[in-house]
Structure 1
Amino acid sequence: MSRECLHFEKLFYLWRVLSTLISNKLTDIHHIQCSYTIFNTILLILQSQAICNFNLFCM
């Protein structure tokens, strides 16, 4: 696996962690806003990693 894909996997893991944090902190509006800002940034980065295996999304 290329370095780009390893980087992709780290971002995907962070994305999963953030998703969990968001779902566990639904009453904390500020936390949600900050998390979604990071979340959307990661999504933009993931979209640029087209050479990687997007089947990761189905895990």
Structure 2
Amino acid sequence: MAEQSKKLVHRRFPLIVRILLFVYIAVIVFFVGLMIGFGILDNPIEVFRLETWEHIINLTKE
């Protein structure tokens, strides 16, 4: 029986680092998208105000 050589794959970035980097970039892209989308209507910084979200929720409930 021939021996199979086991190669150790050396990765540049470990799996957990890649997952955390993906989550970090996804969160940043999400907030940038919110700012761009809301910026069409009003001041983009106002998307982070609690009153803005309360107003949006009140509009959708009625």
Task: Judge same fold: TM > 0.5, yes or no.
Answer: no
TM category, shorter? 0.3 to 0.5
Q: Which has the higher helix share?
A: 1
* Higher relative contact order structure (alpha carbons within 8 Å, sequence separation ≥ 6): 1
TM (norm. structure 2) is 0.42
